[in-house]
């Protein structure tokens, strides 16, 4: 199961009911997939089906899948974009660009390709410099984790490279962040925190618990954190993730399974 989808589903019940602890039920009555999963899978579909990887085809994938799941929880500006007959980017610096980008890091063969594709996925809506930067940073973290020899090697490389390249402060700990952290949908106010949740994790479940435990935009922070961890998922992680597949609709599940087969 794609890490972003797993994190999104786990975090969904806590977005508007934040917790400040890692001790919480993974499933609640309000657990569901959100716009994070829909747009992540729209990007995956685009990567599989459009060999040219054009912005035009990406927009079509995002609009078609987004309209099919219109009540998934999109922001007001994105809804206007989703229903527009002539959608244009609207300068967003929100974390929507970062939460949907992870398939790029899994798909690309080089870091250069990763960053080029990440910029495309951001630019169709989130063409603010911070929106583009957030997408690129997350995609690069996913690519690093995919290419690294081990989880610890990936963490070491991310700690070294991401602050220098993107200016994100990764020196903080979750214990330092948690008490004062509030809802923040900006890339600059949630992507670093999501990366730190990954850096402190020991498993997929622990990654989701770390992300949700700081509060804020829980589904998106968990989606980003778990998407970075996913390339190093163990069999135990995958067994856990499969328990949550039933939350997806059949069309979303089909896209996810087809994309996953590319990396087996």
* Residue 7 pLDDT level (bands cut at 50, 70, 90): very high
pTM above 0.95, yes or no: yes
The tens digit of pLDDT for each residue in 111-148 reads 999 999 999 999 999 999 999 999 999 999 999 999 99
What was the pLDDT predicted at 262?
86
Q: Whose CA is closest to 218, among 24, 1, 2? A: 24
Domain that includes residue 183, residue range: 3-261
Over range 38-49, report the average pLDDT.
98
* Residue 38 pLDDT level (bands cut at 50, 70, 90): very high
- Residue with structure tokens 């998922």? 233
Share of the chain above pLDDT 70, in %: 100
Task: Please state, in angstroms and as integers, the Cα–Cα distance from residue 255 to each residue in 47, 59, 204, 258, following that order.
Answer: 11, 17, 21, 5
The tens digit of pLDDT for each residue in 176-221 reads 999 999 999 999 999 999 999 999 999 999 999 999 999 999 999 9
What was the pLDDT predicted at 33?
98
Over range 2-14, report the average pLDDT.
97
**In the predicted model, what is the mean pLDDT of the chain?**
97
Whether pLDDT at 264 is above 80? no
Q: Please state the domain count of the chain.
A: 1
The CATH number linked to 245 is: 1.10.4080.10
């Amino acid at each position: 199961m794609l890490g972003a989808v797993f994190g999104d589903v786990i975090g969904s019940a806590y977005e508007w009911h934040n917790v400040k602890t890692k001790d919480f039920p993974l499933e609640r009555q309000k657990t569901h997939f959100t716009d994070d999963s829909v747009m992540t899978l729209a990007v995956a579909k685009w990567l599989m089906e459009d060999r040219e990887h054009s912005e035009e085809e990406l927009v079509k994938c995002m609009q078609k899948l987004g309209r099919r799941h219109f009540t998934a929880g999109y922001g007001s500006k994105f809804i206007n974009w989703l229903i527009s007959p002539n959608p244009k980017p609207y300068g967003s610096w929100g974390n929507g660009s970062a939460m949907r980008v992870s398939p790029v890091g899994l798909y690309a063969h080089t870091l250069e390709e990763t960053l080029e594709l990440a910029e495309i996925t951001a630019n169709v809506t989130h063409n603010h410099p911070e929106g583009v930067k957030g997408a690129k940073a997350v995609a690069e973290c996913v690519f690093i984790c995919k290419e690294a020899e081990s989880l610890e090697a990936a963490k070491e490389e991310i700690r070294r490279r991401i602050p220098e390249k993107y200016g994100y402060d990764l020196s903080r700990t979750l214990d330092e962040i948690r008490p004062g952290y509030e809802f923040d949908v900006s890339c600059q106010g949630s992507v670093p925190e999501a990366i730190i949740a990954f850096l402190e994790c020991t498993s997929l479940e622990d990654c989701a618990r770390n992300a949700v435990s700081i509060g804020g935009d829980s589904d998106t922070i968990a989606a980003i954190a778990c998407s970075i961890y996913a390339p190093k998922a163990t069999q135990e992680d995958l067994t856990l993730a499969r328990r949550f597949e039933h939350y997806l609709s059949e069309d979303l599940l089909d896209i996810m399974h087809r994309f996953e087969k590319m990396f087996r």
